[in-house]
Structures are given as C-alpha cells and as structure tokens.
Amino acid sequence: MAGAGAGASARTYGILVELTDTLGPDFDVSGYLDRFCSLCTELLDVAATAVFLAGGPRGIDLAALHGEQARTLIRHELDEVSGPAFDCHHSGRPAGCDDFAAPALPWPALGPVAAACGIAAEYAVPMRWRGETVGVLALLSESPGAIAGDRGSLAASMASAAASGLLHHRDRAWQAELAMGLRTALDDAVPVEQAKGILAERLSIDVTESLVLLSEYAWAQSRGVPDVAADVVAGRQDIAKEPLLTRLGLPEAEQESHQASVVLEADPTAPRAARGFVAAVLRSWGLTEYADTARLLTSELVTNAVRHGRGPVGLRVSRRHPETVVEVRDHGKGEVRPSPGLTADTETGRGLAIVELLADRWGVVPGDAGKTVWFVLSNAGPRSQ
C-alpha cells in the first residue's frame, strides 16, 4: 500500500506536525483544508477526500474536496442529508460503507450514484480534539473494503491533528479579538476618567455629577462620551451646562426639573429600547397614568430619526410639574412636518401626525449638527380634541 505504512515514518510525523501548525500570521483556512485533503488522499491511498465542517442547517457542510470524481456523490449525500459522513456526525464515531454495491444499504439512493462516480467505499471519521468535534473527514475509495488497522489509526490521527490545528487557530483568533476589545475599552475608559476629574475640579462637583454632565453634553452633540472626553482632556472642548428647557425657550424660573437621557444606536432596535427607557423613567417618577402615550409618541419620533436621520439618536426625558418633555435628537436636517390625512388609526406612515394628535404641544429645534424634535405631555393627560 503506497505511502500509508504504520504511521511512524518521518514523513508522516512531519505531516502531523504541519497539520497542527496554524498559528502563523498568514494562515488561510481554505488553503489549509485543501492541503489537508490532498495529504489524506496521498497518505491513505484513497481516490478522494472530503472535509465537512460542523454548522449550518444540515449539521455539517462541505468545506473542502480533493478528487473531483466524488463530487457528485458528496453533493448527493448533502442533498439527502444522509450517508456515512452524516452517520459519523450524529454518532460521534467512525462510520462507513465497505461496498456501495452491497444489497440493503442504509442509504439505498447512494449506491447508484456511487457506481456512476466510480466510488466503491466510503469511510468517515470525526475530526475531534480534546472532546470538541469540528467536523468529519470522509475517505472515498475506488475499491471495496474497509479502512482499518494502521490505515484507520492514521486516518484518526490526521483527523485529530487537523481538528487541533483548526481549534488552535480559532482560539488564537478569539484571543486577538478579545485583546483588541480590551484595548479599545481601555483606550475609551482612560480619557473618560481623566475628563471626569477635570470637570469635577473645575466645577466643584463630584465625579458622579461630572460623568452625568459629560454624558448630557455628548447626548446634546450626538457624539460618543469617549470622543467628548478626549476633547475635554486635550482642551479642545469647554463644557457648560445647557438645560433642555432653555433650548426649548421656556422661562428660567420654570427650569427646576428631573432629567434622564440615553444615546441609542440608529438601528431597528432603537424604537423598542426607547420605549423601554421612557417607561422606566416615568415609572420611577410615579407618572404611569400616561406612560403608554409617552411610549407611543417616543417610538414614532425615534423611528423617524432612525429612518431619516444619521448617526446615533439621543433621547431625553425631562419633568417640570405639571409637564413632561421628551426630546429626540438626530443628525438629519430634513423638514419635519406631519403628513396630511393621517389619523391615530393609520398603521403606517403616521409618525408626526400621531404626535400632533396626542401631544399637548410639540416642536422642532434645528441645530448645526442636526435637529431635535420634542413633545410635551401634561401630567393631567393628553390635550382634549
């Protein structure tokens, strides 16, 4: 038997070492699997080799194939979701067919396809390392017969070596991703801590209040807190308090209020997050009687901001007895007005029409970096129509 031997030759050892060496900077999974299939075909003296990796709706899927004559058979196994490779995957143990021409096969449809491809036998072994299975190695032969003894041991060793290599590469990639995430988090945290200290000292406030101030300013600018903090540390930004009600043109004497704000990513999850935030804030203030109305109107404004604005969406809730103000800010600069002919019963496109219908009053505050749309609800409930 050409090239198989007892698995103890120097070449075999060298190949097993090669299969576990996946930590280089230029490692390519596709090229690695192609090389693995080629080596298996040569060392195990088979007509074709296929590698199925775990995942996908079938449980495993073809990742590499060496030996084009077997492609039709492999494709048929995938279409039928049955065959030696799938038996191996489900059982976690080697599985095979010693002769596709034998009667009463567990997979009767495979016999004719195998014959047409010139494949007489298939042997599948799990690609497993330290209890974790990454896929299945399938060996296809032109002659009937089992792959056992030294060949079976070598097949198992090569499958384990490849699994080890793939898992080492995965773990290395995860470690690199984790390290990058930690580095990014640290890079963000350092200027924020420095900016909190600067603001606390300059304004004679504690660091908790300085973080609130930093967050409020970032919200007002539709920017990230780390970016604003970096500007504060570098002396590029001088933060001063700018209460919401001043921007809405309300008298200074009426500005005693509770406030809560959050910055949301401009994605489809933003309206739901905004509804939850507003409900939680109003509940904490004991204003549950019109929370449903506030959640609905907030959802409409945030939906508009996501669809028609740009960048992150700022949301702020402010309470001034007997009114509550909700403000939504985005980077869009388009004209804001309700569409005619819409009512509260309209299922789509209602947006500002429903805000105009249910809010006591609402408005738009244009800015250099975008716009703010706000509405006011009286603690006594929506305005009468």
Q: Is the pTM of this model over 0.85?
A: no
Are 49 and 140 members of one domain? yes
Give me the mean pLDDT over the 249-261 stretch. 51
Q: What does the mean pLDDT of the chain come to?
A: 77
* End residue of a domain, out of 134, 150, 171: 171
Exposed, middle or buried, 378 (CB in 10 Å: 0-12/13-18/19+)? middle
| 177-223 pLDDT, tens digit each | 555 555 555 566 678 778 888 877 776 766 666 776 676 667 666 67
How many domains would you assign to the chain? 2
Q: Are residues 147 and 268 in the same domain?
A: no
Predicted pLDDT of residue 89: 94
Residues 151 and 252 in one domain: no
The answer on 130 and 14 residing in a single domain is yes
Higher pLDDT, 250 or 203: 203
Does 227 fall in a domain? Answer: no
- In this structure, are 251 and 163 located in the same domain? no
Q: What is the pLDDT of residues 155-182, one digit of tens each?
A: 999 899 888 888 877 776 666 655 555 5
pLDDT of 86 reads 95
- CATH number for the domain spanning 311: value is 3.30.565.10
Please give the residue that has the higher pLDDT: either 131 or 312.
131
- Our measurement of the distance from residue 269's CA atom to the centroid of its chain's CA atoms, rounded to an integer in Å, reads 13
| Bridge partner residues of 50 (DSSP) | 65, 138
- Note whether 357 and 252 are same-domain residues: yes
Residue predicted with more confidence, 158 or 350? 158
Residue 250 pLDDT grade (very low, low, confident, very high; cuts 50, 70, 90) = very low
| pLDDT above 60 (res 351) | yes
To the nearest 10 degrees (0 to 180), the angle between helices 207-221 and 225-234 is: 110
From 237-246, 254-263, 360-369, the region with the lowest mean pLDDT:
237-246
Per-residue confidence (pLDDT) for residue 353, from 0 to 100? 78
- pLDDT-above-70 percentage for the chain: 71
364 and 278 share one domain: yes
d(CA 361, CA 383): 9
Least confident of 51-60, 137-146, 187-196, 252-261: 252-261
The residue assigned the tokens 């070449």 is 11
Q: What are phi and psi of 258, to 5 degrees?
A: -90, 145
> Looking up tokens 């905004």, which residue turns up?
274
Same-domain check for residues 158 and 42: yes
Q: How does DSSP classify residue 287?
A: -
Same-domain check for residues 136 and 30: yes
Q: Of 171, 196, 227, which closes a domain? A: 171
Range of the domain at 54: 10-171
Q: Does the residue 223 lie in any domain?
A: no
The 8-class DSSP code of residue 338 comes to P
pLDDT score, position 316: 87
Q: Is residue 254 part of a domain?
A: yes
Residue 268's pLDDT is what?
81
- Asked, for residue 213, whether it belongs to a domain, the answer is no
Which of 171, 198, 224 marks a domain boundary? 171
165 in the same domain as 62: yes
Q: What is the pLDDT of residue 370?
A: 74
> Does residue 199 lie in a domain region?
no
Position 15 pLDDT exceeds 70 = no
Are 287 and 157 within one domain? no
Residue given tokens 């001088």 in the structure block: 238
Mean of the pLDDT values across residues 223-231?
80
Is 47 inside any structural domain?
A: yes
Q: What is the CATH number of the domain that holds 116?
A: 3.30.450.40
Q: Are 151 and 297 part of one and the same domain?
A: no
Q: Is residue 343 part of a domain?
A: yes
Q: Is the pLDDT of residue 245 over 50?
A: no
Residue at 114 is within a domain: yes
